[in-house]
Amino acid sequence: MARLDGKIAIVTGGAQGQGAAISRGFVAEGARVVIADVADEPGKALADELGEAAAFAHHDVSSEESWTDVVALAETTFGPVNVLVNNAGILVFSSIDDMSLADYERLISINQTGTWLGMRAVVPTMKRNGGGSIVNASSVEGLGGMPTLSAYVASKWAIRGMTKAIAMECGARGIRANSVHPGMIDTGMTRVHGGDAAMEYGATKVALKRVGSPTDMVGVYTFLASDESSFVTGAEIAVDGGATATHAFGG
């Protein structure tokens, strides 16, 4: 028996990077997956690759209406949603004095509000159908600060806190919520900010002396989505090569 047999999952940002790896991993373990993303071409291609166990939905996580539509699509295509992976997010580097309010609010609307809307959208169906697992992508920047990332850090700390609140609020109804905190992962989103040089520098800063790959994330998400983690909720799990295993003196 596969580890995710019977699971029906929505994976936001599921068309590329970590989301695509998670979507592939879930299907390989028996889940049926809605790949939810604004990136239509790679999303449709991935759904075609994965076959009948996957469907693509164009989805803007910052939109209430889009969340209503994607949950309805999942339920009509596969059945009641019992796993949500809130993976979609954007990364913007800017000093606080250079960042506009519009850019700050856009990042918050996707990373933070999008995560909150996702949880709100699936909790009713999870309550009606015996529970479920919500896995929210935070970051090592949800565990500590970093210069030029004030907006991103704000969103990722918020995700960490919201996850714990929902774990407490919904645990009695069989709904678990946990946050995952990746370090530097080699994806298009991170490579656009420095390419190979950024990857090489990042590798020097962690215990394992390498950056992560999207496939390094799959096992943790699979565990948290599965019944193997039935007594795990409100947790924060760093998948960071050891970035948070130490501390800094003076920055």
Which residues form the catalytic set? 152
Q: Collect contacts of 127-130 with beta carbons under 8 A, ≥24 apart.
A: 127/170, 127/173, 127/175, 128/80, 129/80, 129/82, 130/82, 130/174
- H or E element in which residue 251 lies: none
Helices 17-28 + 215-225 axis angle, to 10:
50
- H or E element in which residue 84 lies: strand 83-86
Rg from Cα positions in the chain: 17
Which residue from 159, 168, 177, 57 is spatially nearest to 122, judged by alpha carbons?
177
In the structure encoding, which two tokens stand for residue 60, read together? 């803007």
